[in-house]
Amino acid sequence: GPQRPPCPQNAEYGSCSLRKMGAMEALELLDQLVDESDPDVDFPNSYHAYQTAEGIRRAHPDKDWFHLVGLLHDLGKVLALFGEPQ
C-alpha cells in the first residue's frame, strides 16, 4: 500500500522523553480535561472509560482484551493537556 508521511507527533512524543505514566495515571489525568466533544458532562472523564469497559464486559464477557480497549479508548485525549488540539 501507499506509505504514510511521517507523523510529527511520533517525533515529539514517541521517545516518551516528556513524561512517562501508567494507564491509571493517564485515566486520572483525563479528569482534568474538559472534553470539547462533550463539555456539559457533570462526571469525570475516567467514569466514561469505566462505563465503556463495563458495558463491553457485560456484552462480551469472554473477550477480556475488548474490556481493556474500552477502558483505554480515550487515553490519547490526555495529549490536549500537553498542548495538542482535541
Question: Residue 49 is placed in which grid cell?
Answer: 472509560
Asked if 74 and 49 touch (Cβ cutoff 8 Å), the reply is yes
Three-state SS for 20?
A: coil
74 annotated ligand-binding residue: yes
Residue the block writes with cell 510529527: 8
Residues of the binding site for Fe cation: 48, 73-74
Pick out the residues of the known binding site.
Answer: 48, 73-74
